[in-house]
């Protein structure tokens, strides 16, 4: 397979999109599918919408480009920081998509952003910021608090 070969991806809304093989191989799950069935048929990604797919491809593209000589680590870091300047909705969609297509670098980047948002917040603030419910009974919560007490002594 030549490095210039094209791979066709098909997203959940039935849209086809071509990328170079190098870009497609950035995602572990797509890489596995290519190894199994080759590149002659489209790779189906039923769980990724067109909007998210194009964002993920954008990420894969500049990471492939950054492997060329002359691109510094700082430049990649700076592009990564720009890439994740997105709203919460997009951020979590990217996490789910990165997990689905198995792009560890993108998953790591997006998880870091969420970790930074969580740091320094109380549990109540996290519940409010992320609209996430506490699904424990008071007894269960007390038990967890007790189990983890060692970390706060």
Residue with smaller CB distance to other proteins, 1 or 126: 126
The footprint of other proteins (CB under 8 A) covers: 12, 29, 46-49, 51-52, 88-89, 92-93, 95-97, 99-100, 107-108, 111-112, 114-116, 118-119, 123, 126-127, 130-136, 141, 144-145, 147-148, 150-152
Residue with smaller CB distance to other proteins, 23 or 56: 56
> How near is the Cβ of 5 to other proteins at its closest, in Å?
26
- Among 145, 130, 143, 133, residue whose Cα is nearest residue 89: 130
Cβ burial of 138 (10 Å; 0-12, 13-18, 19+) is: exposed
Question: What per-residue string of b and e applies to 25-50 under the rule 16 or more CB within 10 Å gives b?
Answer: bbbeebbebbeeeeeeeebebeebee
Task: Indicate the DSSP class of residue 14.
Answer: S
Strands (E) across the chain are located at 6-10, 16-20, 43-44
Q: Strand 6-10 relative to strand 43-44: parallel, antiparallel, unpaired? A: parallel
> How near is the Cβ of 1 to other proteins at its closest, in Å?
25
Residue with smaller CB distance to other proteins, 24 or 52: 52
> How near is the Cβ of 104 to other proteins at its closest, in Å?
9
Residue with smaller CB distance to other proteins, 68 or 133: 133
> How near is the Cβ of 107 to other proteins at its closest, in Å?
6
Residue with smaller CB distance to other proteins, 5 or 88: 88
C-alpha to C-alpha distance for 86 and 29, rounded to whole angstroms: 24
> How near is the Cβ of 17 to other proteins at its closest, in Å?
17
């Amino acid at each position: 397979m030549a490095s210039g070969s094209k791979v066709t991806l098909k997203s959940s809304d039935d849209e086809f999109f071509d990328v170079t093989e190098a870009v497609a191989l950035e995602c572990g799950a797509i890489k596995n599918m290519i190894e199994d069935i080759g590149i002659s048929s489209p790779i189906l990604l039923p769980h990724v919408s067109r909007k998210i797919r194009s964002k993920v491809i954008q990420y894969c593209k500049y990471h492939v480009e950054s492997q060329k000589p002359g691109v510094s680590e700082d430049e990649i870091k700076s592009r990564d920081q720009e890439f994740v300047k997105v709203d919460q909705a997009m951020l979590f969609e990217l996490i789910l998509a990165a997990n689905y297509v198995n792009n560890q670098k993108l998953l790591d980047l997006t998880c870091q952003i969420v970790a930074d948002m969580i740091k320094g917040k109380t549990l109540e603030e996290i519940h409010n910021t992320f609209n996430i419910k506490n699904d424990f009974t008071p007894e269960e919560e007390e038990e967890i608090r007790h189990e983890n007490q060692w970390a706060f002594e």
